[in-house]
Chain A
Amino acid sequence: KAGVTQTPRYLIKTRGQQVTLSCSPISGHRSVSWYQQTPGQGLQFLFEYFSETQRNKGNFPGRFSGRQFSNSRSEMNVSTLELGDSALYLCASSMGQGSYNEQFFGPGTRLTVL
């Protein structure tokens, strides 16, 4: 079974631009979560989707948004990029929703904002 895939793997943008990152979960998985990883803040939860609905949201400004499609694929969007948005963005998928579910992580998208 193929793992979680994220595209693109690397991205360079300038301040003020917007960016869209994509995540394809493992086949059969219906839940997708997004995390931001930075050296200063570590791993922080962005949001979680299940059956096309956002179920939970982390403490990030409204510039960060996401969505999930009927095939469980998910995208996250960051508008008006700031230098501090430079990070590794990780997507994780799991079969269902619930704290006992094992989450499988993708390789991440490394975003650099200049």
Chain B
Amino acid sequence: AQSVTQLDSQVPVFEEAPVELRCNYSSSVSVYLFWYVQYPNQGLQLLLKYLSGSTLVKGINGFEAEFNKSQTSFHLRKPSVHISDTAEYFCAVNPYGGATNKLIFGTGTLLAVQP
């Protein structure tokens, strides 16, 4: 079975400051990793994904994430945040090679960008 831990339920940060949202996972098999963003009253939008290859993955809106297999982590980073980045961010996993689209999500981190 797989599980995802997002230790920070809320991360307050000032505009133009850097931010890191943490994600750790547990799995007995290899997994694909995803970060989704949810703006108020909207569905989820894919920010980036790690399937294979380079462990540094770049996504939309200036976000990037680094896969660390030894630490089973997939932290999300942005060098300079904007007010518009205020949203909830979800880390998710899916077992590698599985014939299912089922995603296992973390509990989410609310990124609150202050002016």
Contacts and interface: CB of A to CB of B under 8 A. Distances in A.
Contacts of A21: none
A99 B98 contact: yes
A103 B49 CA distance: 11
A97 to B, nearest CB: 6
Given A42-B108, A43-B90, A102-B49, A97 B101 contact: yes
A94 B101 contact: yes
By size class, the interface of chain B is 20 to 34
A33 interface: yes
For the complex, would chain A's binding face be called helix, strand, loop or mixed by DSSP majority? strand
Contact of A105 (B43, B95, B98, B108): B43
A42 B105 contact: yes
B64 to A, nearest CB: 18
Interface string B83-115: 000000010101111111111111110000000
B51 interface: yes
B42 interface: yes
B99 A98 contact: yes
A99 B100 contact: yes
Interface of A: 4, 31, 33, 35, 42-45, 48, 55-56, 58, 90, 92, 94, 97-108
3 smallest CB-CB distances across A and B, nearest first, come from A105-B43, A99-B94, A43-B105
